[in-house]
């Protein structure tokens, strides 16, 4: 029932560029690979930044116009003009690069992409070396798991190994990633834990929770008495 990690879905064959590679050569590599960004890697293997189509398009945006950056211009506008005059990966790249650890969860990777508004992330190992690239489309692979595999994780993992429930007490069905739980457990807290764990399983796109419980232990008031 182990969750997928970035290392499980990333692309391991990574195209990179050195910091001194020229503008035209960068464009050629992007087009040849059919990708939108490339990590810029130094001689020591460290990721220095990422050069993307957006970085390259600043030259098209200004199209030879005067790109002198004004003193009081906003930072983003100033950077755009600087990149419009750039000719090498080091001058064009966005740095520092937003990276993710190979051991990170897919949720953590998705949050990084959303926070930094990027479509892909260089993946680093424990030593900080580049080992892959993970894209938005890679994160969606978790939803390609078969219904049979999901059902096995629910029954064997959640109900059996975690909650120690008798599989006969809960009927589990899965259709196109949507899980339905029907049955009765001893406590309300057990039912709530089961639902939360099932929703977090790889491949689950939705849950119909029809679990009942015999005892509502979430409303119990604990009282403590002390001897004089």
CB-CB contact of 102 with 124 (8 Å): yes
Chain-centre distance for alpha carbon 3:
12
Q: For residue range 166-187, list pLDDT tens digits in order.
A: 989 999 999 999 999 999 999 9
Give residue 224's pLDDT band: very low, low, confident or very high (50, 70, 90): very low
**Mean per-residue pLDDT for 25-36?**
92
Q: Which residue has the higher pLDDT, 66 or 11?
A: 11
Task: Please tell me the distance from the alpha carbon of residue 119 to that of residue 137, in angstroms, as a whole number.
Answer: 9
Instruction: Give the CATH number of domain 6-140.
Output: 3.10.580.10
**Residue 3 confidence (pLDDT) above 90:** no
Q: For residue range 123-171, list pLDDT tens digits in order.
A: 999 988 999 999 999 999 889 899 999 999 999 999 999 999 998 999 9
| Phi and psi angles of residue 60, each rounded to the nearest 5 degrees, phi first | -70, -40
Going from N- to C-terminal start, the domains of the chain cover 6-140, 145-215
**Residue 27 confidence (pLDDT) above 80:** yes
Residue 96, Cβ density class (10 Å: 0-12 exposed, 13-18 middle, ≥19 buried)? exposed
- Tell me which fold the domain 145-215 belongs to: 3.30.1340
Task: Please tell me the distance from the alpha carbon of residue 135 to that of residue 120, in angstroms, as a whole number.
Answer: 4
Residue 184: is the preceding peptide bond cis (ω within 30°)?
no
**Mean per-residue pLDDT for 198-208?**
95
| Phi and psi angles of residue 152, each rounded to the nearest 5 degrees, phi first | -60, -45
Q: What is the pTM of this model?
A: 0.75
| Residue partners of 16: CB distance under 8 A and separation at least 6 | 38, 39, 40, 41, 130
**Residue 203 confidence (pLDDT) above 90:** yes
| Residue partners of 88: CB distance under 8 A and separation at least 6 | 19, 20, 21, 22, 23
Q: For residue range 54-103, list pLDDT tens digits in order.
A: 888 887 776 655 555 554 456 666 666 677 778 999 999 999 999 999 99
At which residue do the structure tokens 């937003």 appear?
A: 98
Task: Please tell me the distance from the alpha carbon of residue 209 to that of residue 207, in angstroms, as a whole number.
Answer: 6
**Mean per-residue pLDDT for 212-216?**
94
CB-CB contact of 39 with 64 (8 Å): no
Task: Please tell me the distance from the alpha carbon of residue 77 to that of residue 69, in angstroms, as a whole number.
Answer: 8
């Amino acid at each position: 029932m182990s969750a997928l990690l970035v290392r499980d879905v990333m692309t391991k064959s990574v195209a990179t560029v050195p910091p001194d590679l020229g503008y035209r050569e960068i464009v050629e590599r992007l087009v040849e690979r059919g990708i939108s960004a490339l990590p810029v890697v130094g001689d020591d293997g460290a990721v220095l930044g990422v050069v993307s189509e957006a970085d390259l398009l600043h030259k098209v945006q200004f199209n030879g116009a005067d790109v002198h950056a004004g003193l009081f211009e906003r930072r983003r506008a100033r950077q755009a003009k600087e990149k419009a005059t750039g000719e090498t990966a080091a001058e064009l790249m966005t740095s520092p690069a937003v990276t993710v650890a190979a051991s990170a969860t897919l949720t953590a990777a998705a949050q990084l992409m959303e926070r930094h508004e990027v479509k892909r992330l260089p993946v680093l190992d424990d030593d900080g070396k580049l080992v892959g690239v993970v894209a938005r489309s890679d994160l969606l692979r978790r939803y390609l798991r078969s219904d049979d595999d999901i059902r096995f994780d629910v029954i064997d993992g959640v109900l059996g190994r975690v909650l120690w429930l008798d599989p006969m007490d809960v009927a589990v069905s899965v259709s196109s990633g949507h899980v339905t739980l029907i049955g009765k457990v001893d406590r309300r807290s057990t039912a709530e834990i089961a639902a939360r764990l099932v929703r977090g399983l790889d491949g689950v796109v939705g849950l119909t929770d029809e679990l009942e419980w015999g005892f509502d232990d979430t409303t119990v008031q604990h009282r403590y008495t002390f001897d004089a």
